[in-house]
Chain A
């Protein structure tokens, strides 16, 4: 079930909410938890029932390993470390089998000219998210950072529907105490109001902004064979904004949905496109994934404590893994590699202590992120090269003819001037001549407007916010009605 569907907003969410608090009010605490787990599993298997046994197996296995690690009560003669390794191997094996098997087979076939048949497995929804979350749980259990909870509690921790599909990736220790607090078992109107507020922002971001940019990103990446200079930048910026508004919109809806149940999820985005360097970007973008990669990969490998070269190696390794986590493809790995290299360069730059004006810091970071998203989005190298060639003027530079009077001398170096409506080719799917204006507006919003977390912090229940929320919902519903059920990008990861 999608957050941006009428059945979720008008049926699933209200029913789950009212039944949950009804059971809690009648002191049926366990039944309420059971209801939440049942509802979450229903939410998960709404797409495909076939996914359900997989998540159940994963839940039971990880709970067994985790609780054994926590209780320190090993019945067989293996060390806790061995048990942890078994647990992590199981999770990675599961992820590897479902997500990377075909990628592996493909590469073996092309490397050794063999002919192994692809498995053509359908990627189980959210597998990357619940796998990482459970690996974190096992490691925390090993370190003694988790208290013992029963299976029902564990199931809530993993399956709680607002964060199940695409995060935020949460820690056991930040979630379970919230479910245990008695105060949280009662309806809290302050939380409900705040939840509705942030949910409406997320819905608007997804439906009205991300899905609009999606049309132009798809036009450029999927429906065009060549792109001129302007079309290529429109394509790249469209995807840059689509991805941000899509994923942060999803996160806002997750945070809002969880707040209805008095659960505070960690923030996942903090105006990433305001970042002034690439390290800053990763402190603002998909924060819970960055936290996971830092705590469970970067630091265990030595972090920055073992000398500069090892630090560089670790950075590259973390981002190669990060790239691979996002998708089984070389373009994803290359995207991760580029970010790893950028972080290494930044560290060297910092050591050299060269200062740049804030504007240039932002400009370089934003454009680097935009250019690297091309690899992230492209389904093949050819697609990526097509867009990049356009962006760097290798497929010809065509500028709007109203600039001809000022820039006529550029004709000498082969730059053409054409009417604007011939540059932005409608038939390729760039269906609106105002694309450049939308891109400019989006840029202003991501650079200067408050983000949803800041808005949530400033939230006051008054007529102004009431109208604001109502208008966001109505706008979103109108567009939802037309373009029913567009999936979130991060569902693919």
Chain B
């Protein structure tokens, strides 16, 4: 009996010890230099391009739907205003994208910031596997300033299997991204930050499932608050801030089922209620399968051309001061 009692105490002690050791171990030793390198290089390349422009410009901020959905080069040429495609990786999350926009000094007064979040990042937690891996590898400064709860949540996102992967990467990492034939690569971006590799269609890879809307909208409300804060930041810094919707694979169900129409409307209304200026409506940016590259959010070059033209028309319809003024143009 006594032996069992000590065993119970000992076991609890070991569990507590391991529960402390695990996050400390992860914090100090977990890195995914290979997995996160593309994201790191894309961010660096795009932010440097944006920083190098010293006149009013358009920044298209978002996840990979923006990266693979719009051609900033065309917008720049048509509207004669410098434009940067700041499409990153949706897994970085809305909070982190907006954080970088506020802190990395690439936004200046009179700039136009158009934020185009994927639907997922509007509804989901801001801690994801992708951004946890990225923060612990390339942005520890950001990780360190997260609230303790978020830090713990991030670290417990990492599965034991990921740790094995991490060590494997750290041992074999040669400082280079995967070649474009094996994965996304920052070398295929043009000067405006647009992706150029997306020719043709890998139809088999594209999910034909409808996007899902959450039943619990608490997270959505929290994320809208982040957008509201961004609006206030932009107001204070004389930056024109807009929200728009991502390109998405058109599916019959979106038209046939009330559930989807109602939910798209709900999203639109919620953004409007937060006093955010909106460009377009979700259904304006639905496209057929033939225009998609490798996911339901990634257009191919044909799709990008059409989407960009339509987006330019929407921009023209929207009363954006910098487009109307005869201010500095390229």
Which residues of A come within 8 Å of B, CB atoms? Answer: 188-190, 192-193, 196, 223, 425, 427, 461-463, 465-467, 469-471, 473-475, 477-479, 481-482
Contacts and interface: CB of A to CB of B under 8 A. Distances in A.
A193 B157 contact: no
A478 B209 CA distance: 29
Interface stretch (B9-17, B64-72, B213-221, B320-328): B9-17
B14 A467 contact: yes
A228 to B, nearest CB: 12
Contact of A461 (B4, B17, B206): B4
Q: Which of B6, B7, B207 has the most CB of A within 10 A?
A: B7
A463 B160 contact: no
Contact of B22 (A190, A192, A465, A474): A474
A474 B8 contact: no
Interface in B1-44: 1-8, 10-11, 14-15, 17-19, 22
A470 B153 CA distance: 20
Contacts of B14: 466-467, 469-470
Interface residues of B, number: 27
Interface of B: 1-8, 10-11, 14-15, 17-19, 22, 153, 156-160, 204-207, 209
Contacts of B4: 189-190, 192-193, 461
Contacts of A478: 22, 156, 158-160
Contacts of B205: 427
B159 A479 contact: yes
A474 B163 CA distance: 14
A482 B204 contact: no
Given A427-B207, A462-B7, A481-B156, A471 B22 contact: no
B8 A463 contact: no
A461 B10 CA distance: 10
Given A466-B7, A482-B159, A189 B1 contact: yes
A466 to B, nearest CB: 5
A288 B14 CA distance: 35
14 contacts: A189-B1, A189-B2, A189-B5, A189-B8, A193-B11, A467-B14, A469-B14, A470-B11, A470-B17, A473-B15, A477-B19, A481-B153, A482-B156, A482-B159
Contacts of B22: 474, 478
Given A196-B8, A474-B22, A478-B158, 4 more contacts: A189-B8, A470-B14, A474-B15, A478-B22
Contacts of B2: 189
B160 A481 contact: no
A316 B312 CA distance: 69
A173 to B, nearest CB: 29
A461 B204 contact: no
A223 B160 CA distance: 27
A470 B156 contact: no
B157 A482 contact: yes
B18 A471 contact: yes
Nearest to A467: B14
A119 to B, nearest CB: 22
B19 A463 contact: no
Given A189-B8, A192-B8, A193-B7, A481 B1 contact: no
A422 to B, nearest CB: 9
Given A427-B205, A427-B207, A473-B15, A193 B8 contact: yes
Contacts of B206: 427
Please name the 8 residue pairs, one residue from A and one from B, whose CB atoms are nearest each other, closest first.
A461-B7, A470-B14, A189-B4, A481-B156, A193-B4, A189-B5, A466-B11, A474-B18
A248 to B, nearest CB: 22
Contacts of A477: 19, 156
Q: Which of B4, B159, B205 has the most CB of A within 10 A?
A: B4
Nearest to A192: B8
A471 B21 CA distance: 12
Q: Which of A188, A189, A473, A475 has the most CB of B within 10 A?
A: A189
A425 B159 CA distance: 23
A411 to B, nearest CB: 22
